[in-house]
């Protein structure tokens, strides 16, 4: 039998260009309005199909049990949904910081669902994959669909959007923030009025989580205060990463060179189409 190769797929970061919390449902979930945009900066997931059902993550993340990793959960979820008899060996090259608000775990799950759906030939369509992905996290569907979007509900109701693309300096202070800790906070703003979204008005919107985070995480507050002296800057998601907007890569890299010691950072361009989908299409074409 011919030995199967590993095939690499990008697992991109996302930004929440703003994040409004407009209500809370009886089940505790928050009703959001946000715009997702992708970045040309990503983890890389390599997959190899096996003829037994085992799902093996060959590159464990320190401190995360493999069975709890969204990568493994996504593979098993698809396998179970389609009664697939094949398995996979998986390698992860991790670049996206954890606890940063860049959607790394959700992106990893979406990459695995899309890629294994192609490799295993399980033939789920995008809507079906997004429905599966929602079981793993509210941000997974936007990575499955692969286009920038105005999102409502818990983040799963997506309307295609075309926000302006900038060069971004993404900076992370030396802390990680639990999404759960932010959304459980009693004094979090939860009554921002709903909007009629327009790509042209995006710079007038804000992140409702930012005020709570900077009050409770001085590292974020200090870095944000430093960055806004150089460029429009705000937190993405529930933090801790902050994105600063520039018209050129050169300008973004210059401010990156000035960052205080100990700040993790990268420069990337905004994308309104996920790079993952081209990689999956190449598999489907073979």
Q: 């973004």: which residue's tokens?
A: 252
Sign of CA dihedral 92, 94, 95, 96: positive
Query: Measured between alpha carbons, how far apart are the two ends of the chain, in Å?
Result: 19
Report the catalytic residues.
14, 139
Helix H, strand E, coil C: the string for the chain is CCCCCCEEEEEEEEEEEEEEEEEECCCCCEEEEEEEEEEEEEEEEEEEEECCCCEEECCCCCCCCHHHCHHHHHHHHHHHHCCCCCEEEEEEECCCCCCCCCCHHHHHHHHHHHHHHHHCCCCCCHHHHHHHHHCCCCCHHHHHHCECEEEECCCCEEEECCCCCCEEEEEECCCCCCHHHHHCCCCCCCCCCCCCCCHHHHHHCCEHHHHHHHHHCHHHHHHHHHHCCCCCEEECCCCCCEEEEECCHHHHHHHHHHCCCCCEEEEEEEECECCHHHHHHHHHHC
């Amino acid at each position: 039998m011919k030995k199967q190769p590993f095939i690499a797929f990008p697992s991109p970061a996302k930004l929440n260009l703003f994040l409004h919390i407009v209500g809370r449902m009886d089940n505790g979930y928050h009703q959001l309005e946000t715009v997702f945009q992708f970045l040309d900066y990503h983890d890389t997931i390599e997959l190899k199909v096996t003829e037994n059902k085992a799902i093996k993550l060959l590159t464990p993340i320190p401190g995360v049990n493999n069975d709890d990793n969204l990568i493994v959960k996504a593979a098993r979820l698809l396998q179970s949904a389609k009664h697939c008899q094949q398995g996979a060996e998986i390698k992860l090259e991790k670049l996206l910081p954890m606890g940063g608000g860049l959607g790394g775990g959700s992106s990893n799950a979406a990459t695995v669902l899309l890629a294994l759906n192609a490799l295993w030939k399980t033939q789920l369509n995008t809507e079906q994959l997004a429905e599966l992905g929602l079981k793993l996290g509210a941000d997974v569907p936007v990575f499955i669909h692969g286009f920038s979007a105005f999102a409502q509900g818990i983040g799963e109701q997506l309307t295609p959007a075309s926000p302006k693309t900038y060069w971004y300096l993404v900076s992370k202070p030396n802390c990680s923030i639990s999404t759960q800790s932010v959304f459980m906070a009693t004094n979090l703003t939860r009554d921002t009025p709903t909007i009629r979204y327009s790509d042209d008005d995006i710079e007038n919107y804000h992140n409702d989580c930012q005020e709570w985070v900077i009050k409770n995480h001085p590292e974020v507050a200090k870095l944000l205060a430093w960055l806004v002296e150089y460029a429009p800057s705000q937190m993405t998601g529930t933090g801790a990463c902050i994105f600063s907007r520039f018209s050129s890569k050169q300008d973004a890299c210059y401010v990156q060179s000035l960052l205080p010691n100990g700040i993790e950072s990268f420069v990337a361009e905004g994308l309104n189409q996920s790079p993952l989908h081209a990689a999956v299409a190449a598999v489907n074409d073979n």
